A and B are shown apart, each in its own frame.
Chain A
Amino acid sequence: MVGKAERGPVAIEAIKKHQAAYLMAVGGAAYLVAQAIKSSRIIAFEDLGMEAIHEFVVEDMPVTVAVDAEGTSVHQTGPAEWAQKILAKNIG
């Protein structure tokens, strides 16, 4: 699945088990992301309005690998790494 923000431990465990991955796009950059969507049509549950199931055809939609098949999450490694770097800077 493609989404925003972090996945919890249950999801990460499942991603690892099934050798899948989790991709994220930048939350709040909706208009930019929409430019990569070349066609859109509703294919089910039209009565749900914005929550209907749409089929998108995308072209070069930028996403970041947030959890890889090994279960490594950038939302864990990134902040941990940068907290250390900031600490080192403040001391240095």
Chain B
Amino acid sequence: MTAIRQDDLIDSVADALQFISYYHPVDFIQAVNEAYEREESPAAKDALAQILINSRMSAMGHRPLCQDTGIVTVFIKVGMHVTWDGATMSVTDMINEGVRRAYTHPDNVLRASILEDPDGARKNTKDNTPAVIHYEIVEGHTVDVQVAAKGGGSENKSKMVMLNPSDSIVDWVVKTVPTMGAGWCPPGMLGIGIGGTAEKAAVMAKESLMDPIDIHELRERGPKTRAEELRLEIFEAVNNLGIGAQGLGGLTTVLDIKIKDYPTHAASKPVAMIPNCAATRHAHFVLDGSGPALQKAPSIDQWPDITWDVGPSARRVNLDTLTRDEVTSWKPGETLLLNGVMLTGRDAAHQRIVAMLNRGETLPVDLSGKVIYYVGPVDPVRDEVVGPAGLRPRLEWINLLIKCLSKQGCLRWLVRRSVGL
């Protein structure tokens, strides 16, 4: 019997979540760097450079890689010969306590993105709990835990199908990936679950994303199973689509394809596909009764020291004096450097604005003449002016602008002569 202490699980979960908020897995960084070095598309190469620089800065500053610090997903395998020494909480409560401590850590506050009552009030739980937890009872004397913080953008592009047994999985993937657009933030990985039942395929797809990137090793040693053959076939077929980093067109769309399979019913071939974005975040630890299992910080030398210069061709834009002629002179793919004032807003602000407009109320903020940046930033720590603040636009904002125009003309400037809809 191994006795596991409640605090050891809580501390290990909290430590892993803090760790993955700012350290990309080293295998992922190496794979992005390889993609960067071989990329021939200038736009995609720029995007890859920004991802690598951002990753290095996050690793050095111990601040989140991405403003979406994810929904916590845990795969826990509990050995049958384990006891929980003096525990006062359920294992689920221990894991959630670890999540709570990680996301409210004063040195590196993470964004709380979890809403309860998902089709109702959608109220933020404030501490990013609860986690989604998958349990397995296994032979042994240890507790094996995979912890991931999965971004919403890539999760939203998950796909599932019940294929006929004779259908080609490669064909389905090649047909489906272009419909997912760039919102899953390529380059990343595709996790694919094949077989079992509908829900088993989805769980396998997610769990497969916990494995390290090893497609090149697989190619060198050669596939031994049908699942391994499929990994290579899908890897090549998806990269041939030319989607590229951030969907800008380029040589690398996926860094690896992960597959797990399971026996299935004679009538069925369930397939689930879950993409992992460029903010790939997962960590593994094993509790053996000797105390908490804390993550070991990688050396910063693991990150390539890339300098990225937008170059002399980049145009500086003053948002406060922007004219229509200037906007119409911008060319697709051109890099701009924005200067001046912009406002942020996301879904909840949008909903409230629409409700206020519908009631004929005056908005508390004058949106006319302002550029809107669709973002929910992380709270700042120490001397930061703002926490990590990437972006996540939605069509709803565009609808809002059209609605505003017809109602009050409040955002006319945006549409007539601004940076966008």
Contacts and interface: CB of A to CB of B under 8 A. Distances in A.
Of the listed residues B63, B182, B340, B349, the one surrounded by the most CB atoms of chain A closer than 10 A to its CB is B182
A44 B314 CA distance: 33
B366 to A, nearest CB: 9
B137 to A, nearest CB: 36
Contact of A51 (B333, B376, B389): B376
Nearest to A82: B242
Of the listed residues A7, A23, A26, A57, the one surrounded by the most CB atoms of chain B closer than 10 A to its CB is A26
A10 B398 contact: yes
A7 to B, nearest CB: 8
Q: For chain A, what secondary structure do more than half of its interface residues adopt (helix, strand, loop), or is it mixed? A: mixed
B239 A6 contact: no
Contacts of A21: 327-328, 330, 419-420
Contacts of A69: 327-328, 330
Contacts of B58: 31
Closest 3 pairs between A and B when the two form their complex, measured CB to CB: A78-B249, A3-B393, A30-B390
Interface stretch (B49-57, B195-203, B204-212, B254-262): B49-57
Given A11-B421, A65-B332, A32 B248 contact: no
A90 B378 CA distance: 44
B391 A25 contact: yes
Contacts of A82: 41, 44, 242-244, 249-251
Given A48-B349, A80-B242, A74 B249 contact: yes
B381 to A, nearest CB: 12
A5 to B, nearest CB: 4
Interface string A4-41: 11111011001100111111111111111111111110
B289 interface: no
Interface residues of B, number: 107
Nearest to A3: B393
Contacts of A92: none
A56 B66 contact: no
Nearest to B243: A79
Contact of B343 (A33, A36, A56): A56
The size bracket of the interface on A is 35 or more
Contacts of B416: 18-20
A80 B124 CA distance: 40
A47 B54 CA distance: 30
Contacts of B266: none
Given A63-B336, A85-B242, A55 B66 contact: no
Contacts of A58: 319, 338-342
Interface stretch (B6-14, B96-104, B367-375): B367-375
A7 B151 CA distance: 20
A60 B46 CA distance: 16
Given A4-B392, A14-B415, A79-B242, 12 more contacts: A4-B182, A5-B185, A5-B246, A5-B247, A10-B398, A18-B421, A43-B343, A48-B352, A78-B44, A78-B250, A79-B243, A82-B244
Nearest to A50: B376
Of the listed residues B40, B249, B343, B384, the one surrounded by the most CB atoms of chain A closer than 10 A to its CB is B249
Contacts of A5: 153, 181-183, 185, 246-247, 393
Contacts of B352: 45, 48
Of the listed residues A28, A36, A38, A90, the one surrounded by the most CB atoms of chain B closer than 10 A to its CB is A28
Contacts of A83: 240-242
Interface in B112-131: 112-113, 124, 126
A44 B421 contact: no
Contact of A26 (B246, B310, B397): B246
9 contacts: A1-B421, A23-B336, A30-B389, A34-B384, A37-B389, A43-B364, A45-B348, A74-B248, A78-B41
Contacts of A54: 343-344, 377, 386
B338 A61 contact: yes
A57 B371 CA distance: 11
Interface in A55-92: 55-69, 72-75, 77-87, 90
B112 A49 contact: yes
